[in-house]
Amino acid sequence: MKSRAFSMLAAGISVLAWPAVAPAQRAGGNDAAKPVAIASLLTQPSMNVFRRFTVDRAKVLEFYGDVLGLKALPPIGMPGGSQMSRFQVGTSEIKLTGSTPGRQDKSGAVRETTGLRVFTFFFPDEAALTARFVSHGLPAPAFKAREGGTRGAMVLDPDSQWVELVVAAGAPPETFSRLEVGLTVSDLEKSRAFYREFVGLEELPPVESAMLGVTKYPFRHGTMTVNVWSFGKGLPANTYTAGIQYVISDVEVVDAKAKAGGVTITTPLGKFGTGLRTIWLGDPDGITNYFAQLMRNTQAAPAQP
């Protein structure tokens, strides 16, 4: 068990216990003829998000931990001596690592670049959240009316990642365990087809965003929602700064489906450490969708005293 847990941590995979999801049947019976929905193989009731930053780590941890008030998880040592910092949001994790030295990736307004551009977090108390910003020397967020009877504000983290703060006063407790990410894409129909038909996320009705002045197309799995929107074609791309991580029970299904569907494979199916198999894909705009499977130890367990 110790080696399996180490392998999961080395790849930045949560070792929190989620309900098991059985691998899909790939042979035999009527199930063999049915296309496999990748989302049905996810082994946690959400997804995770990774973020690469260029500024001082202490500033990033202060923002996500002290200012936003997210729950810190134990950091993970990475190859080459680097470190991954983690924060928990419901059943999801925000995974933060330093970027390659000297690398400069396109930032700016949400409408200026394609990529994973927005993290959305939910809070019960606007005054308490504002007070934390001010006490850490940051400007008070400018909240305004938002869809769904909520209030929201757009702020930047210390490395210019957009963060949407949503205050839902009086909402049920599970509201504050939700995580949303927003993707600026160049072709709505291609991106919607990818997350609906390839990944198999549940597509929800479109929402008019008061914060961004655009129509959002939400795709949900458990406590996490991926919002897709577009400001047109021809924008520069940022495919490096942030992406989505899926923990899955059968990564070979992802590999086969990607090859059959012509999906871009950025890092081929392969082993990571002693107990993981992974594959990295790019969505139609090259935004990272990273799938990881924990490989079971097939050796018989020793007898217990």
Ordered by start, the domain boundaries in the chain are: 2-294
Averaged pLDDT score across all residues of the chain: 88
Residue 275: per-residue pLDDT: 80
Q: What is the pTM of this model?
A: 0.88
CB 217 within 8 A of CB 227: yes
Question: How many whole angstroms from its chain centre is CA 1?
Answer: 26
Strands (E), the chain: 48-53, 71-77, 83-89, 92-98, 115-123, 144-145, 151-156, 162-167, 179-185, 202-203, 207-209, 214-221, 224-230, 242-247, 264-272, 276-282, 288-294
pLDDT single digits (tens) 167-180: 999 999 999 999 99
What CA–CA distance (Å, rounded) separates 264 from 221? 22
Q: Are β-strands 202-203 and 162-167 bridged in parallel, bridged antiparallel, or unpaired?
A: unpaired
Of the candidates 291, 229, 287, which has an alpha carbon nearest to the alpha carbon of residue 258?
291
Mean pLDDT within 119-136: 98
CATH number for domain 2-294, candidates 3.10.180.10, 3.30.1330.30, 3.90.1150.200, 2.40.50.140: 3.10.180.10
| Least trusted range by pLDDT, from 140-154, 245-259, 264-278 | 264-278
**At residue 255, does pLDDT exceed 50?**
yes
Residue 273 sits at φ, ψ, to 5 deg, of 65, -150
Please measure the distance between the N-terminal and C-terminal CA atoms of the chain and give it in whole angstroms.
Answer: 17
Question: In this structure, are residues 50 and 280 in contact, taking their beta carbons and an 8 Å threshold?
Answer: no
Residue 201: band (very low, low, confident or very high) from pLDDT cuts 50, 70, 90: very high
What backbone phi and psi angles, to 5 degrees, belong to 135? -65, -20
Query: Which of residues 88 and 4 earns the better pLDDT score?
Result: 88
pLDDT single digits (tens) 84-110: 999 999 999 999 999 887 777 778 899
